[in-house]
A and B are shown apart, each in its own frame.
Chain A
């Protein structure tokens, strides 16, 4: 008796399966056609706390190097130079005013994004929130040196942000 039951069940299940697949012919595909045929740019579709590449807002960076110390794999490299500004000739005040005060300058702020593991430990101690995750994630390149993000251009040191001075 199992014999005919098997035949009936196979026919019935094949029929049922065919109806399911036939109904799928009239359903919307859920594919997101990254990168070029998405409804909105992919960056806008990412969640707000997405961990993309690190970015640093140099306007509010205090140069405290807390992020460098927090990084477990040393992919952040900051160099601070203490420098006495050369006396600027100023006709009204005479010469050498303020020349004696040493000034901190950030001469280098590199993040090796090829090394970065996106743990987010650097963003936590930052007092001003200057270092943070962006939503950028597309940066395939043939040259690994291009993945060294330089936030301070060479030869153009940036003065750190100071609350009191602002």
Chain B
């Protein structure tokens, strides 16, 4: 891409073209990030409202869809308060690692076979490393505010994120084991469009790894049931108690951005990413060069949004874990099972070098059966409670 661009502008030096190109990509990614994080905050509040038999924000714009803009403007106009006894330099610095840690991961997320910030050959390692920056920001925020609540929140976030990083990375190792690469594009290319070609259904251990990945990614994103660093009912607002205005907003941008990163990682690592069936690809290629990429982007977004919505729903379903339960889940359940899934996947690849199609279909259909049972059970809940079902989704 850069070579082609430098041919277009021959009078400019190469480094300048590269710098401009980097700037354009960065701005695009950040724009996408904010355009995701804003509306999704509205969406989450609407879903939370429905789950609690409320309505949620529905006044600003049609159905309240630009509520997030109003919130953003409000936060811009708020005074940027810094407590008198705070460590002022750290206090100002703290939101940036949190924001940066999440936005940096966007660089390697493959939106389609072409749309990717940079296809690093150590992409997965890079994502894990960049995500680690979040911890620094949270501890800095917790420490610098000079407030016992924020300090407790910061310490909790340190304990939580460090312990959950282990099962997270171990479950990612399973994917690396199967694809033999750390580059996200290569990982996606080694999967296929059909569900049985996805890594999640390739063997039972990979499925366990996926579950572990989802749980520990939710914990990494500080979302309920693992939102101990914030813990509204115990710590006021945890590490961001003393923050206001734009700095406060940065933390929340990071939280909702995290949501997308988790969904996108789950989609690309385990669910075949942007892979579209060969039939669609042939049809799209016949229409022109752009359409296949549009299909790929849509496919990737679809898979991502499934997990985004699931995590949102999970947040309003489960209560928060206790600190000791949090540690127990990580060290006694997730980490041993992550090791089991690594060893199991390795053995599976030795025993079945070509994969075992029966097991793939078994996993796929048991997953479908669980989803079917979920739908039936949800309908049963509607009937059982004798509360009137109302299929008008939006009020």
Which A residues are within 8 Å of any B CB, using their own CB? 3, 6-7, 14-31, 33
Q: How large is the interface on B (under 10, 10 to 19, 20 to 34, 35 or more residues)?
A: 20 to 34
A28 with B316, Cβ < 8 A, contacts A23-B378, A23-B379 known? no
The answer to the question of B125 belonging to the interface, with a C-beta cut-off of 8 Å to chain A, is: no
**Chain A contacts for B74, CB-based, 8 A:** none
Q: How many whole Å from A107's CB to the nearest CB in chain B?
A: 48
CA distance A20 to B382 in the complex (A): 8
B190: CB under 8 A from chain A? no
Partner of A17, one of B317, B370, B382: B317
In the bound complex, residues from chain A placing their C-beta under 8 Å from that of B280 are: none
CB–CB B316/A27 < 8 A: no
- Which residues of B approach A to under 8 Å, CB–CB? 47, 49-55, 313-314, 316-318, 332-333, 370, 374, 377-382, 385, 387-391, 393, 395
The one of B55, B332, B377, B391 in contact with A26, judged by C-beta atoms closer than 8 angstroms, is B391
Name the residue on A nearest B382 (C-beta).
Answer: A23
Chain A residues with Cβ below 8 Å from B381 are 19-20, 22-23
User: How long is the Cα–Cα vector from A66 to B50 in the complex, in angstroms?
Assistant: 52
Which chain A residue shows the least CB distance to B381? Answer: A23
Chain A residues whose C-beta falls within 8 Å of the C-beta of B395 in the assembled complex:
28-29
Contacting pair A21 B51 (CB below 8 A): yes
Name the B residues within 8 Å of A33 (CB-CB): 55
Tell me, in angstroms, the Cα distance from A31 to B318 when the chains sit together. 23
For the complex, what is the distance from the CA of A62 to the CA of B377, rounded to whole Å? 68
Do residues A26 and B333 form an inter-chain contact, with CB atoms below 8 A? no
- Cα distance A20–B316 when bound, in Å? 11
C-alpha gap A22/B380 in the complex (Å): 11
Supply 7 A–B pairs (Cβ within 8 Å), ascending by A.
Answer: A18-B313, A19-B380, A20-B317, A22-B313, A24-B51, A27-B387, A29-B53
In contact, B317 and A14 (Cβ under 8 angstroms): yes
Query: Quick one: closest A residue to B392, CB to CB?
Result: A28
Evaluate contact between B389 and A26: CB separation under 8 angstroms: yes
B54 to chain A, nearest CB (A): 5
Closest to B315 in A: A21
4 new A-B contacts, CB < 8 A, other than A14-B317, A17-B318, are A18-B313, A25-B47, A26-B393, A33-B55
A22 to B47, CA, bound (A): 10
- B374→A7 contact, CB < 8 A: no
If A17-B317, A18-B313 touch, whether A29 touches B55 (CB-CB below 8 Å) is: yes
**B contact residues around A6 at 8 Å (CB):** 333
Q: In the complex, which residues of chain A have a beta carbon less than 8 angstroms from the beta carbon of B51?
A: 21, 24-25
> Which of A3, A15, A27, A33 has the most chain B CB atoms inside 10 A of its CB?
A27
Is the pair B374, A27 in contact by a Cβ cutoff of 8 Å? no
User: Chain B residue with minimal CB distance to A16?
Assistant: B377
Q: Are A19 and B378 in contact (CB under 8 A)?
A: yes
Q: Give the Cβ gap from A5 to chain B, nearest Cβ, in Å.
A: 12
Contact of A29 among B47, B49, B333, B382 (CB under 8 A): B49
The answer to whether A29 and B50 have CB atoms under 8 Å apart is: yes
Q: Which residues of B contact A27 (CB under 8 A)?
A: 50, 53, 382, 387-390
| Cβ contacts under 8 Å, B49 to chain A | 29
